[in-house]
């Protein structure tokens, strides 16, 4: 099933939180399941950092990022709910982002793409739902960066949904996590083919920097336990002394190269910075008052082994939500997969997702 498109903000531009405007914003989205008569079964899915509008593919040769979670009778039950998933503002999978054509110049935005926050992404998602004549959501669900979007939905539009499910995202990034993101950005920015972000017309792309950034990112998504089980200190039969000598090095190189085929460097920079800057209290007097706006039942799931959104940060977020009077359901799970558990560890997350969606 092809990704669907909508063009929003054609008559009045979107004013962005950090200044500037965007008009005629194209949004890529996908739907799954069947909308019931009173439109009471709609669930919005918010994707993680490098995700897209397609958590599930119908074609057997392709895999979506939540392929094993979605389907008839599964945790994301398509026989019960009508799911909508969008590619976020600033992305590179069909929604307006740095690689899109700037109507003012008829050239890709590149370095001229404005700075964006999670709050801006949520405004675009809300506009899409209005375009689709959806007036209420049964739930908003997301993991990692998607969990931050789900949280902001509950703050900015507290009467719009009944349930929020946040998988593996604290209410803000730790200093360590921001540090990882900084190193990843510097790898891209210092690639000789980055050209300040205006590389689209050059025929060259900052592939080396983006691949290195992805390799570092993969180490924050996995765990030392999983890497030890998968690779240990095994070496390759034919190895490069300064390159892929160990199997784990070969794995990281493969992931970096694979990433180049599906992601844009500028989008990566903008989304990483939006991740760093996420602050639920932006435009509100303080965090307590911002979180106190949440009316939905809020489910928060933490993974003990998460290397990116660490357990201490999730527990801190739990207390902040509770202190603000949020109706909170909190779970801690152990998984060898670390942060990526919410994408692959169906056994651990199935029941928590069902409960978060109000199935018991």
Known binding-site residues for substrate equal 214, 340
Are 123 and 95 in contact by the 8 Å Cβ rule? The answer is no
Within 13 Å, how many C-alpha atoms sit on residue 69's CB side? 25
Closest by CA to 17, choosing from 83, 72, 80, 90, is 90
For residues 140 and 222, what is the distance between their CA atoms, to the nearest angstrom? 26
* DSSP summary character for residue 17: T
The token duo for 234 is: 């095994």
Q: Is 306 considered catalytic here?
A: yes
Give catalytic status of residue 144 as yes or no: yes
Q: Which residues of 336-356 are buried (b: 16+ CB within 10 A; e: fewer)?
A: bbbbbbbbbbbebbeebbbbb
Report the relative pairing of strands 161-167 and 137-143 from DSSP bridges: parallel
Note if 193 is an active site residue: no
> Which residue among 52, 85, 339, 345 is the active-site one?
339
C-alpha to C-alpha distance for 40 and 180, rounded to whole angstroms: 41
Q: Which two tokens stand for residue 90?
A: 């600033």
Q: Is 203 exposed, middle or buried (0-12, 13-18, 19+ CB in 10 A)?
A: exposed
Contact 145, 171 (CB under 8 A): no
Which stretch of DSSP H or E encloses residue 153?
A: helix 145-156
Contacts of 131 (CB under 8 A, 6+ apart): 6, 8
- Among candidate residues 77, 156, 264, 306, the one labeled active-site is 306
Burial of 6 (0-12, 13-18, 19+ CB in 10 A): middle
Angle ∠(169,123,184) on CA atoms, nearest 5: 45
Backbone dihedral region for residue 257 (phi beyond 0: left; psi -120 to 50: alpha; all else: beta): alpha
Identify whether the C-beta of residue 110 lies closer than 8 Å to the C-beta of residue 117.
no
Residue of 144, 172, 250, 267 marked catalytic:
144
Sign of the Cα pseudo-torsion (335, 336, 337, 339, in order): positive
DSSP state of 144: T
- The binding site consists of 214, 340
User: What residues are labeled active site?
Assistant: 144, 306, 339
């Amino acid at each position: 099933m092809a990704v669907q498109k909508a063009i929003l903000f054609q008559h009045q531009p979107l004013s962005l939180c950090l200044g500037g405007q965007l008009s005629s914003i194209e949004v890529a989205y996908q739907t799954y399941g069947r909308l019931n008569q009173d439109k009471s079964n709609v669930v919005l899915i918010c994707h993680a950092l490098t995700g897209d509008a397609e958590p599930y593919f119908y074609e057997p040769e392709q895999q979506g990022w939540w392929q094993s979670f979605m389907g008839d009778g599964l945790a994301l039950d398509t026989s019960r709910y009508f799911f909508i998933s969008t590619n976020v503002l600033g992305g590179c999978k069909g929604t307006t982002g740095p690689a899109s054509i700037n109507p003012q110049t008829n050239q890709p935005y590149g370095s001229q793409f404005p700075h964006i926050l999670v709050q801006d992404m949520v405004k675009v998602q809300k506009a899409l739902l209005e375009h689709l004549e959806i007036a209420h959501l049964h739930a908003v669900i997301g993991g990692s960066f998607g969990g931050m979007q789900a949280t902001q939905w509950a703050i900015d539009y507290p009467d719009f949904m009944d349930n929020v499910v946040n998988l593996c995202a604290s209410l803000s990034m730790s200093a360590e996590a921001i540090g990882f993101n900084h190193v990843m950005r510097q790898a891209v920015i210092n690639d000789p083919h980055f050209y300040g972000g205006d590389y689209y017309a050059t025929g060259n792309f900052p592939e080396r920097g983006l691949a290195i950034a992805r390799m570092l990112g993969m180490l924050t998504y996995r765990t030392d336990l999983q890497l030890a089980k998968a690779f240990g200190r095994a070496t390759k039969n034919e190895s490069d002394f300064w390159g892929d000598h160990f199997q784990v090095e070969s794995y990281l190189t493969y992931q970096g190269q694979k990433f180049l085929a599906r992601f844009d460097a500028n989008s990566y920079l903008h989304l990483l910075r939006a991740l760093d800057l996420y602050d639920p209290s932006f435009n509100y007097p303080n965090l307590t008052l911002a979180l106190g706006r949440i009316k939905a039942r809020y489910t928060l799931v933490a993974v003990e082994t998460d290397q990116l959104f660490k357990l201490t940060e999730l527990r801190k977020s739990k207390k902040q939500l509770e202190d603000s009077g949020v109706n909170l359901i909190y779970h801690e799970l152990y998984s060898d997969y670390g942060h990526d558990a919410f994408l692959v560890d169906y056994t651990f997350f199935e029941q928590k997702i069902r409960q978060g969606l109000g199935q018991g």
